[in-house]
Amino acid sequence: MTEAAHYQKLKEIVAIYLPEDVSVDAITQESHFINELNINSANLVDIVLDVEDAFDITLENEDMDQMETVQDALGIIDIKLAKES
């Protein structure tokens, strides 16, 4: 799966948890989950769980702490997938 495909899949996951006042179009690789996309910490946990399922990876608490932006999440996903293969 390409990085573009990872981004698209992650974007689809994040879109589910966006509040009504935030458009899917607002999601960019630079988007900050909490500050820009207004995702609360409970929904961020749900995103992490969905990412684990979608990419068949396990994210540790340290990974979640580092996952502030969409790009951070993509980097962590890529590292985890590389370790799996």
**What would the pLDDT profile of 10-22 be if each residue is shown by its tens digit?**
999 999 999 999 9
Nearest to 33 by CA among 19, 20, 54, 49: 19
Q: Per residue in 49-74, pLDDT tens? A: 999 999 999 999 999 999 999 999 99
Phi/psi-derived region of residue 31, left when phi > 0, alpha when psi is between -120 and 50, beta in every other case: beta
Domains of the chain: 3-84 (1.10.1200.10)
Query: Is the per-residue pLDDT at 1 higher than 80?
Result: no
* pLDDT score of 38: 97
Q: ∠ at Cα 54 (31, 9), nearest 5°?
A: 40
Contact between 22 and 37 under an 8 Å Cβ cutoff? The reply is yes
